[in-house]
Structure 1
Amino acid sequence: MVSSVLKISEKAPSEYPKSVAFIISNEFCERFNYYGLRTILVLYLTTKLHYDKDTATVLFHIFTMLVYLFPLVGAIIADSWLGKFRTILYLSMVYALGGVIVSLGAIPLLQLPVKEITILGLTLIALGTGGIKPCVSAFGGDQFRMPEQAKQLATFFSLFYFAINAGSTISTTITPILREDVHCFGDKNCFSLAFSVPAMLMLLSVVIFVAGRKLYVVKPPAGNMIFGVSKCISDAIGSWRRERKTNPRKHWLDYAEAKSGQKMVADTKVLLKILTLFLPFPVFWALFDQQGSRWTFQATRMNGEIFGYVIKPDQMQVVNPLLILGMIPLFTYVLYPILAKVGIKRPLQKLTLGGLLAAIAFLLSAALEVKLNEVDPAPLPELGANVRIYNGMPCAYRFTTELPNLSSAVEPLGLWENKALPVPKAVIYPFNATSADKRCKNFSGTFRLTPGKETSYFIYSDGVQEFIDSTGKTKLGNPTVRVLLNVPAEDSAFTLTDAVETAVPLILRNASQVVNVVHGESELKMADTKIATVNTKGGGVYALLVQGSLKDGYKSKTHVITPPNSIHMMWQLPQIIVITAAEIMFSVTGLEFSYTQAPPSMTSVLQACWLLSVSIGNMLVVVIAELKFFESQAAEFALFAGLMIVDMFIFILLTIPYKYVEHGEDPEANQVVVTPNNPKQREAERETYTGNRGNGHMNEAYEGER
């Protein structure tokens, strides 16, 4: 766990700053908004914006990349021009505007250019959340007078991280429920509400932040150390080019001593040594952040039913922050002491182990993907075709045709199908259909097969209806039902009502109509009369055949065209548990190493580079998704695992010459080591202030002088 050095005084502590309540409330609302949107984003991109999974993955990780790139912008703006208060205020307004834009784009009645509106909104959100990320916790730290309020400051950070954890956990749980269980604008889901609730909380966060304005301690901008380091490196390169022959130095940075000073040069040398070890870090974040993209898509193909409740695919993301709560103390008090006994106690060793755990998590996800591929229906080949015959008549039919394997009779309300017929080009098969039952007339026609298509034929009283079938599972993983009605024209008031009482009118003689339903029992009704019941499960594709009339009664039969998801969503838990353990060992330890090894003046620059590694990691996902090395998702998961293993091997080579350093303590004051009670260490790391160090206190989320 990262320690924080705080100067304390013998004076009695001052009154706790009232302004802190506004800052913590603001942070809760902001984190609720960010994680709520992020949780459902990839499903929105595929189902409503109709991007394929690869493109949705690319857009998700570009968004995440920008979220962790813009903190550099926010820190520079806050430290060099506007100060923290105005930077938070202005960028929060941009943030809230982005949330409103995404929400409005999700309302179908407005008929806005949805793709363009969504991209604009996401860009503004990335700018807003990224820009304020390095400032909020630092601004909270500014409210305390140091050193006399050191203990109160530590309490603030505990509350601050609790707000982060609470906001993210609650939103990750609630937004999938709003998305799926609420129906609006004629849809089976309500993305507009799922986006609007977080957006309203972001607007509320701006109001809360402004409400505390008169209570805030607002400090002027004091310069950014990133500029100092950049100037030192620039001076060194310029002087080296001019003096390397006439005035040779031991190290190329020594050439900057005349302009930047000896201390700046010495601190920059240490910084660059640590940043060399940072080079492999982006690969870890490339794996870690796929929990919100590829792993969510994986969950849509799994069975979420547990004890009568159906887990939404995007709700699996809530497991990570919940595990963090329990695993940090477990690691601190149990696992780390055990590892220390076997010789694994140094930060770089833990970092390596964390990276290898991430690789194991992706090997587990690859193995799970292989099992899913075994039970999922095989995709239709480009030069193949599927053909189905749905018999909606009360009697059996025999077909005389050259269509392969159609030798047996198609029974009343029965189904015949032939999958993946080799069809290199469009082909026609004439047929004659005969029935021994005098109630059903004979007829003839043609079967038309097209490469890469699923063609179906529905036999009803007036003839045969041809339509393009679809047996693929939905992008959200919910079941679908096709109702094929062979009823008189006057019996037209049919509806299909699912388990949450959503009734969909059925169009007579429209065999292509497919109804999305929720998991559970759906009822077919004629007016108020119940005709049939279909018990559906997630991922299943069903066909309900109905024959008869209101006068004589109806007969029905349900066919399972595509089996429902059979592998339970809980099989994702092993990979989530392992990636969470990897996060604690890699992420928390990485920050601990950075703060203990970097000179005090360089921790802000180091944190900027840490956030940059997250951004680069997401860019790596974008590149691999765009290159499409493999058709198989399991192979791509295995590729990432292999990259992580190679990456850790390179990291080990980089660590071999590294020598741990210890920086001297501040002789001016008594010191106490404070370890914040941190329920969500990841946000502690990612919320770290990347600005100047002139504030007199230090924490993972806020740096000051020691």
Structure 2
Amino acid sequence: MTSAAVDTPVAAEASKAGFPRGIPFIVGNEGAERFSYYGMRAILYTYLASLYVHFVSENLLSKADTDAAKAKATAVAHLFMAGVYAFPMIGAILADRLLGKYRVILFVSVIYCAGHAVLAVAGRLAEMKNYEGAEMGMYIGLGLIAVGSGGIKPCVSANVGDQFTANSSHLVTKVFQAFYFIINFGSFFSTMITPALNDAFGPEVAFGVPGILMVIATIIFWMGRDRFVRVPPKPGGVIGALDFFSALLLFSPVIAIIVAVFVQGDHYKAPDPQGMSSAQFYSAYLTGYTSHLATSSWHYFAIAGGLVALGFVLFGMRQAREQDDGFLAVLLYSIRNRRARKEGQGFFDVAREKFGEEAAEGPPAVLRIVVVFSMVMFFWALFDQHASTWVQQAKEMNRVLTVPEWTGKFAVAATIGGALYGGTWLMMWVSNKSIPSIVPRLFFGSLVVLGVGAIGLDVAQRQTVTVELKASQIQALNPLMVMMIIPALNVFVYQPLERRGKALKPLRKMAVGMFLAAGAFAIAALLQARMEAAAAAGAKVHVLWQVAQYLVMTTSEVLISVTGLEFAYTQAPRRMKSTIMGFWLLGVTFGNVLVAFLAPMQKILSLSQFFWVFTGLMVGAAVIFTILASFYKGKTYLQTAAKH
């Protein structure tokens, strides 16, 4: 670690005319890390469902056994995703308050790599028929990856912002566009490649290759160590340690919920819906499951309660050493001094004299946003099922495609070649280098010539090839559609409405997205019902029918996720922006916990009925969100041009 790389703008300013020198390493690291994560996640559900029945063919198992395995795989996959989005709260505090972003990213990347290595070993154990060891290895590996991915997630984008100064601030938007592209780029290709690796070489290789990509990501990041601007943690030292450990302890109830559902959720026996109305069944299920967790997992919650008490003790010690003006400090001060309020003062006005205007405005701004966004957790409960129950739906469908031989080969080659060209161009762009103008002309000209030639050969020869897609590969539609829907909405919806003076407000966009998510699951439920009817007649519905639900859900994602984050950032003071990010990610966590909570229903409900459950929940959440949004009155906080 050199002194020039720490706490100075030298690295960024070395390239005033273009991107800061550390950006290529951050973008390259992000691409490899996202390939690693999404590649592993692509096969997670199907692999777990097979592992739980010891890879015995479904045709040789009872329906009860297969349904139980699918329910457990759904729960575990979503609890893993819940962990991935829960740990950023801790990772952000560790980076900002104690160790700094560079150290945290590097350290947790090693944990991340270890997680992939454990998954590869677990895959090997399964091939050796040591199923108990394989299952335990999966849980350990997933836990390590959740910690690693969660630790990296809040630090990377913030680390990008740290590289820019006033001289390069005009490039911030462009670099985040590059970031968004590289994330979807890695997601699409890893989702297509990893399932094929699993079928061809087994889980040891399929889980190992994403691990290799994570090692590459770590090396790329380490190589940029002398080019990064490293903003030192504040306050650091003993106070920073108190901040981190108090936050970790106060966060323990969230971890307790995840652990309780993971350990005890699968043991819950759902009530038989026969002879019960829908309302009676769902009421009995929720009451029974909650009671089951309360009686079987009370010790987890008791321990969490003790840890929370200790967390408040540490927080008090921290405040005694040096007053903090963060969300929790202002909130607790306002509660303790509520009797000191003068007539006509609001709840947080008493904190205004102590902490200042901006600090006192922070908690009410955050709480207003959190109340409105509380319903967004239901969206995440639906959206993340494209990696679980929607994969199961695809597994039950006809996935065979018949395509013209030469056109099909050209499409594969052009996709790979285009991806390599795009990735190369992107990395050269953020490295402040350009590709000679003759290269794109030759490349795209060659594609046109080869494409026309392929079509000509197919017209002349009229030969076709048959390809069977993997069930896990269908989810690659999501990142592919994201890259098309964002510009399409801008060109065909947002800009025309703005020209007419009818621009869509952020909360209205999100409300539309919420109802679209319900629509996507309604489409999935109707499709599944059609599949169940076709299965009774010995037929299968083609997987291309899933395109409709993916299109609607991905549009919903763009309207909610992109809009929601942008809106939340403008509605919170500068000091509370990281707090807003933390609560946003917690919404993703609780959405995935909800899926795990309801997963045992798969043992007694058909998949179409399971989809209708979430459709109903989403409609209710969308209605409540719309009502809450109509009453929302916020204030926009924009940073000055000098802030980054």
**TM-score, with structure 2 as normaliser:** 0.68
Q: CA deviation at 1:568?
A: 0.3
Q: Match for residue 322 of structure 1?
A: 480
Matched, 1:232 2:249: no
Residue 122 of structure 2 corresponds to 105
Instruction: State whether structure 2 residue 529 is matched by structure 1 residue 370.
Output: yes
CA displacement at 1:249 relative to structure 2: 5.1
Distance in 1 between residues matched to 2:511 and 2:158, nearest whole Å: 30
Residues 121 and 239 from structure 1, CA distance in 2 versus in 1: closer, same or farther, beyond 3 angstroms? same
Separation in 2, partners of 1:18, 1:589: 30
Which residue pairs with 2:619 in the alignment? Answer: 645
**Structure 1 counterpart of 2:561:** 587
C-alpha distance in structure 2 between counterparts of 1:85 and 1:175, whole Å? 29
C-alpha contact 1:344 1:350 (8 A) present in aligned 2: no
Q: Which residue of 1 aligns with 2:29?
A: 26
Aligned residues of 1:302 and 1:567 also touching (Cα < 8 A): yes
What amino acid does structure 2 have at the position aligned with 1:373? E
Q: Secondary structure at the match of 1:252?
A: coil
Indicate conservation of the 8 Å contact 2:365/2:634, yes or no: no
The question of whether the paired residues in 1 share the 8 Å contact of 2:15 and 2:21 is answered with no
Instruction: Measure the CA separation in 2 of the matches of 1:596 and 1:327.
Output: 24
Q: Give the alignment partner of residue 208 of structure 1, picking from 184, 207, 220.
A: 220
SS in 2 for 1:213: coil
Give the counterpart letter for 2:400 in structure 1.
E
- Residue 132 of structure 1 is matched in structure 2 by 152
Q: What's the RMSD between the two structures over aligned residues?
A: 2.6
533, 541, 545: which one aligns with 1:571:
545
Deviations 1:221-279 (A, max 9, x none): 12599971111001111111x436xx445321223234323321123222221221111
Corresponding residue for residue 519 of structure 2: 360
The letter of the residue matching 1:34 is Y
Instruction: Give, in whole Å, the separation in 1 of the partners of 2:179 and 2:599.
Output: 36
Q: Shift of residue 119 of structure 1?
A: 0.1
1:272-291 superposed matches below 5 A: 272-291=367-386
Read off the aligned partner of 1:301 and give its amino acid letter. E
Other-structure match for 1:40: 43
State the 1:12 CA deviation. Answer: 9.6
Residue type of the partner of 2:37? Y
Give the share of equivalent positions with the same residue, in percent: 37
Conserved? CA contact 1:104–1:110, under 8 Å: no
**Deviations along 1:326-355, whole A, 9 cap, x unmatched?**
111110110234566696711111111100
Aligned partner (choices 243, 261, 285) of residue 340 of structure 2: 243
For the residues of structure 2 that align with 1:115 and 1:129, how far apart are their CA atoms?
21
Residue 25 of structure 2 aligns to which amino acid in structure 1? F
Query: Aligned pair count?
Result: 466
Deviations 1:53-75 (A, max 9, x none): 00000000000000000111110
CA separation of 1:27 and 1:110: change in aligned 2, threshold 3 A: farther
The answer to whether the 8 Å contact 2:383/2:517 transfers is yes
Determine the structure 2 residue equivalent to 1:449.
Answer: none
**1:219 matched to which residue of 2?**
231
Aligned AA (2:137):
I
User: What pairs with 1:254-265 in structure 2 (closer than 5 Å)?
Assistant: 254-265=349-360
Q: Which amino acid aligns with 1:568?
A: H
Counterpart mapping for 1:78-477 below 5 A = 78-107=95-124, 108-109=127-128, 111=130, 113-144=133-164, 146-180=165-199, 182-183=200-201, 190-222=202-234, 228-240=326-338, 242-243=339-340, 247-248=342-343, 250-307=345-402, 308-337=466-495, 345-377=504-536
Counterpart amino acid of 2:180?
Y
Change (3 A) 1:629 1:274: farther
| Conserved? CA contact 1:630–1:636, under 8 Å | no
Q: Indicate conservation of the 8 Å contact 1:16/1:152, yes or no.
A: yes
Question: How many angstroms does 1:195 deviate by?
Answer: 0.7
Q: Give the distance between the partners of 1:664 and 1:98, measured in 2 at CA.
A: 40
Q: CA deviation at 1:174?
A: 0.4
Residue 215 of structure 1, CA deviation: 2.4
Q: 1:660 to 1:25 in 2, by over 3 A?
A: same
Residues 652 and 191 from structure 1, CA distance in 2 versus in 1: closer, same or farther, beyond 3 angstroms? same
Q: CA deviation at 1:170?
A: 1.1
Contact 1:281 1:613 in 2 (8 A): yes
Q: How far is the alpha carbon of 1:26 from its aligned partner?
A: 1.2
Supply the distance in 2 between the matched residues of 1:627 and 1:115 (Cα, whole angstroms): 23
Matched AA of 2:75: V
**Richer in strand (by share):** 1
> What is the distance in 2 between the residues matched to 1:15 and 1:365?
46
Q: Deviations over 1:680-701 (max 9, x none)?
A: xxxxxxxxxxxxxxxx64xxxx
Q: Deviations over 1:488-544 (max 9, x none)?
A: xxxxxxxxxxxxxxxxxxxxxxxxxxxxxxxxxxxxxxxxxxxxxxxxxxxxxxxxx
In structure 2, stretches of 5+ residues that fail to align are 1-13, 54-67, 248-323, 403-465
User: What runs of 5+ residues in structure 1 fail to find an aligned partner?
Assistant: 1-10, 184-189, 379-562, 672-695, 698-703
CA–CA distance in 1 between the matches of 2:153 and 2:213? Answer: 17
CA distance in 1, matches of 2:574, 2:534: 55
Look up the match of 2:628: 654
Displacement of 1:152 in angstroms is: 3.7
Q: Distance in 2 between matches of 1:597 and 1:81?
A: 27
Contact 1:629 1:636 in 2 (8 A): no
Distance in 1 (CA, whole Å) between partners of 2:32 and 2:639 is: 38
State the Cα distance separating 1:203 from its structure 2 match.
1.3
Q: What is the rounded CA distance, in whole Å, between the counterparts of 2:175 and 2:595 in structure 1?
A: 36
The question of whether the paired residues in 2 share the 8 Å contact of 1:29 and 1:202 is answered with yes
Equivalent residue, structure 2, for 1:55: 72
> Relative to 1, partners in 2 of residues 1:191 and 1:342: Cα closer, same or farther, differing over 3 Å?
farther
Query: What CA distance in whole angstroms lies between the structure 2 residues aligned with 1:628 and 1:617?
Result: 17
Task: Please tell me whether the aligned partners of residues 69 and 612 of structure 1 are also in contact (alpha carbons under 8 angstroms).
Answer: yes
Q: For the structure 1 residues 665 and 210, does the alpha-carbon distance in structure 2 shift closer, same or farther, using more than 3 Å as the test? A: closer
Distance 1:276 1:66 in 2: 22
Contact 2:372 2:628 in 1 (8 A): yes
Q: Which amino acid aligns with 1:147?
A: A
1:71–1:130 CA contact under 8 A, matched in 2: yes
Using structure 1 for the length normalisation, give the TM-score. Answer: 0.63
Larger mean CA deviation between 318-327 and 15-24 belongs to 15-24
Q: Distance in 2 between matches of 1:153 and 1:582?
A: 26
Secondary structure of 1:309's counterpart equals strand
What do residues 266-307 of structure 1 show as CA deviations (whole Å, max 9, x unaligned)? 232222212211111100110111000000000000011112
After TM superposition, give the deviation of residue 376 of structure 1 in Å. Answer: 2.1
Shift of 1:79: 0.7
Amino acid at match of 1:166: F
Which residue does 1:71 correspond to in 2? Answer: 88
Q: Name the CA distance, whole Å, in 2 between partners of 1:606 and 1:580.
A: 23
Q: Which amino acid aligns with 1:229?
A: F
Taking a change above 3 Å as real, the CA distance of residues 664 and 39 of structure 1, as seen in their structure-2 partners, is closer
Change (3 A) 1:141 1:662: closer
Distance 2:15 2:100 in 1: 30
Cα deviation, residue 165, structure 1 = 1.9
Describe how 1:498-517 pairs up with structure 2 within 5 A: none
Question: Which structure has the highest helix share of the two?
Answer: 2
